[in-house]
Amino acid sequence: MSNFSEKKIFEEADNWLKNNKKVSLATVVQTWGSSPFGIGSRMIVSEDGNFLGSVSGGCVEAKVVEECISLMKTKKICKKIDFKVSNENAWEIGLACGGDISIYIEEIK
Amino acid sequence: MKIEIIRETLKNKSLNKEFALITNLVNGESEIFFPGNNPSGMFSKYSEEIEKIFHSNKNGIIENSEIFVQTYKNPIKVIIVGAVDISMYLIDFAKNLNFEIIIVDPRGYFASKERFPDTKIINKWPNEAFDEIETNTKTALVTLTHDPKIDDPALQYALKNKFFYIGALGSKKTHEKRCSRLVEAGFKKVELEKINGPIGIKLGGKSPSEIALSIISQLVYEKYKN
């Protein structure tokens, strides 16, 4: 099911694009264990690092913002990022809830 | 994703359409899928699986594929009988919880636009109001007037039409009396178990906002129970 705030996120994405900003969309596409946000949770990120929405309640947002910005700098259309507890970056990015999560990022054009 | 797809999603949502947004996670292609229709291109071979995810009200990646399906279903409609204080707090909570609220109250001085700006209000008796509201097994009823003249006809309608949730404000004693009236009206005792009375999850609070919180909590609980 869609998140209630997705409307706000999509409308804002449209506004940012109209203001000639590059915008990426991040979506939770898979979860395992106790990840806090459900599949389908979304967040938008602008090229200047502004973001709206959430994909994990704060655990991985910083990394997702970083990944979105670098995606918009390259010519890649999309990318799937897996955040796993077994991943050596787990502590660094702070996935303290013990869940694994896959986030799909794509530029909105 | 193309911005056109996002605009189309917003448009379909505002028209209360039910659909899915399907995305190929490898090449970034997306399209809007309406149940019963065939998706285009490479999505077409997954039409059965897309349909299955859509009907289970879930989002997810189709097994052994890189196709992501996001399902869009209409919010649960909550009909509140009684334009009272508790209703105002319920509306506030519902705004962020994906419930659609309709207020029914024949008493004009209660159900005024001034008291309930930006809310759909039907200023009629429940039986007349239900002629104007499309209801189904996903509809919820919350009765708050504790006046049998107003609450009872609404409860009868909801019981007959198998609403997803029925809750009635009032103490245990009030609820016992209410149930006897409904039995007299021809309902079986077992049918009346469907009514949450006293309404709400026991939180201990007594103020209108606290009661509204206990009601909205019960609605959220019922939504995810199964």
* The pLDDT value given to residue B223: 85
Contact between A109 and B1 using a beta-carbon 8 Å cutoff = yes
Q: At what angle do helices B208-224 and B85-95 cross, to 10 degrees?
A: 50
Contact between B59 and A106 using a beta-carbon 8 Å cutoff = no
A–B interface: beta-carbon pairs under 8 A: 68
* The pLDDT value given to residue B224: 80
Q: Is A40 near chain B, with CB under 8 Å?
A: yes
Chain A residues within 8 A of B26 when measuring between CB atoms: 78
How many structural domains are present in chain A?
Answer: 1
* Euclidean distance between CA atoms B171 and B195, whole angstroms: 13
CATH of domain B76-224: 3.40.50.720
Contact between A27 and B70 using a beta-carbon 8 Å cutoff = yes
In Å, what is the CA distance from A94 to each residue of A90, B112, B161?
A: 6, 50, 49
* The pLDDT value given to residue A89: 52
Q: Give A89 to chain B, closest Cα distance, Å.
A: 23
* Residue labelled with tokens 């196709």: B67
Q: Give A2 to chain B, closest Cα distance, Å.
A: 6
- Within-domain flag for A40: yes
* The pLDDT value given to residue B19: 96
Residue A82 has pLDDT above 80, yes or no: yes
- Within-domain flag for A43: yes
For B93, the enclosing helix (H) or strand (E) is helix B85-95
Residue A4 has pLDDT above 80, yes or no: no
* The pLDDT value given to residue B137: 85
pTM: 0.73
Contact between B3 and A11 using a beta-carbon 8 Å cutoff = no
- How confident is the model over A28-77, as pLDDT tens digits? 999 887 666 789 999 999 999 999 998 887 778 889 999 999 999 998 99
Q: Minimal CA–CA distance to B226: which of B71, B57, B52, B74?
A: B57
Q: Give B30 to chain A, closest Cα distance, Å.
A: 11
- Within-domain flag for A83: yes
* Euclidean distance between CA atoms B132 and B117, whole angstroms: 20
- Within-domain flag for A11: yes
For A108, the enclosing helix (H) or strand (E) is strand A100-108
Q: What is the span of the domain harbouring residue A53?
A: 6-108
Looking at chain B, which residue has its C-alpha nearest residue A31?
B60
Q: Minimal CA–CA distance to A5: which of B94, B97, B7?
A: B97
Q: Is A1 near chain B, with CB under 8 Å?
A: yes
Contact between B28 and A108 using a beta-carbon 8 Å cutoff = no
* The pLDDT value given to residue A3: 53
Q: Report the mean per-residue pLDDT for chain A.
A: 84
Chain B residues within 8 A of A10 when measuring between CB atoms: 6, 9-10
- Within-domain flag for A1: no
* The pLDDT value given to residue B10: 96
Contact between A1 and B57 using a beta-carbon 8 Å cutoff = yes
Write out residues in chain B with pLDDT < 50, as ranges.
none
Rounded to two decimals, the ipTM of the complex is 0.88
- Within-domain flag for A61: yes
In Å, what is the CA distance from B198 to each residue of B172, B195, B202, B214?
A: 6, 9, 9, 11
Q: Give B200 to chain A, closest Cα distance, Å.
A: 23
Q: Any idea where the domains of chain B sit in the sequence?
A: 3-72, 76-224
